[in-house]
Structure 1
Amino acid sequence: MVPGACLTDVRLVPARPEHVDFWLEMRAAPGARRFVETGEDSRELLLRRILEAGALGRPGARSFRWFVEADGQLAGTVSARELSRAHGRAELGYMMADAYHGRGLGTRAVGLMLEELFTLPFLQRVWLTTLAENAASRGVARKLGFTLEGTLRGHCLFQGQRRDQQLWGLLRDEWASSRASRG
């Protein structure tokens, strides 16, 4: 992959056990460690998370995980967790490999995930959190129509320091409206 090259084919593939080594390597890279605690990861833990991720729409599933392919190469992962059918909500997460940062891949991948998630008729709201200093994740949220709902001051401990987290939300109607305006 040529740095800065335009990615033409971006798709989500269901998480499979054979993705675990890529995921472990991606989480160990310097770019991942800037905003996510990944030091305690083990192959076994990540494999268990892959195996526990449900199929979209499967009764009882509380989380989903896909891997992102860009031009046929694994490039990242996206997930939905804390799925509540009773409240119609889910929390989103995403991470792209260092080689794919800064090219809009996160926005495209999360957009594809939202398309999948909003096929669930009960889902009314999705949310995500970002560290306040994570400009790239804030950009993904804004571009996809999320609303900054607040800053949770000193909410998490990251690299031994208290950090602020921002809470972003997107409602089903807002997603449908933003899709319609994009054509």
Structure 2
Amino acid sequence: MDFWLEMRAAPGARRFVDTDEDTRELLLRRILEAGVLGEPRARSFRWFVEVEGQLAGTVSARELSRVHGRVELGYMMADAYHGQGLCTRAVALMLEQLFTLPYLDRVWLTTLVENVGSQGVARKLGFALEGTLRAHCLFQGQRRDQQIWGLLRPEWELRRASLG
């Protein structure tokens, strides 16, 4: 828990994620609400990334819709682990597990237009930029454009083959 609070308070995280509302209780609730992949009622999943015995980041999937066959993906790495390809590998592992769900056809994520690192992760894993929502979110008191990225099951299967 302390790791997650510290990671979210670091300068790298605060550039692109609104962490002002973070409290120990809120983050603990998010962890406790995360389900186990394959549980019939689970709507979200959270994994922590560990590197050589040290926590390095988190990958999550939330708002799972079995009816629509989609889930939203999120990820964050501690500042010390940026630029090493660890996030891309962690997200690829999450995608591999998510696409074992037979009803899942689409994974999507959002990035701020300024977050080129996160966009690089999305591109490397085969996500397509589907559009930009202008002035879509309020971040640090300013309206920001937000990009929507999507990955369909057949696209992941092709990308997975090229990664392996």
Q: Give the shorter-chain TM-score range.
A: over 0.9
CA displacement, residues 20-39 of structure 1 (integer Å, 9 cap, x when unaligned): 11111111111110000001
Distance 1:50 1:94 in 2: 14
Alignment of 1:117 with 2:98, yes or no, is: yes
- Read off the aligned partner of 1:157 and give its amino acid letter: L
How far the C-alpha of 1:182 sits from its partner, in A, is 3.0
2:65 aligns with one of 73, 84, 87: 84
1:138 aligns with one of 119, 126, 147: 119
Segments of structure 2 that go 5 or more residues without pairing to the other structure are none
How far the C-alpha of 1:179 sits from its partner, in A, is 1.3
Alignment of 1:151 with 2:132, yes or no, is: yes
How far the C-alpha of 1:181 sits from its partner, in A, is 2.6
- Read off the aligned partner of 2:64 and give its amino acid letter: L
CA displacement, residues 118-163 of structure 1 (integer Å, 9 cap, x when unaligned): 1111110000000001000010000000000000000001111110
Distance 1:88 1:159 in 2: 33
Match of 1:75 in 2: 56
Match of 2:146 in 1: 165
Q: Which stretches of structure 1, 4 residues or longer, exceed 3 Å deviation after superposition?
A: none
Match of 2:25 in 1: 44
- Read off the aligned partner of 2:43 and give its amino acid letter: R
Segments of structure 1 that go 5 or more residues without pairing to the other structure are 1-19
Match of 1:108 in 2: 89
Secondary structure of residue in 2 paired with 1:39:
coil
Match of 1:12 in 2: none
Distance 2:19 2:109 in 1: 18
How many corresponding residue pairs?
164
How far the C-alpha of 1:46 sits from its partner, in A, is 0.3
Alignment of 1:63 with 2:51, yes or no, is: no
Alignment of 1:96 with 2:94, yes or no, is: no
How far the C-alpha of 1:41 sits from its partner, in A, is 0.5
Secondary structure of residue in 2 paired with 1:55:
coil
State the Cα RMSD in Å. Answer: 0.7
Secondary structure of residue in 2 paired with 1:165:
strand
Distance 1:136 1:91 in 2: 18
- TM-score if structure 2 supplies the norm length? 0.98
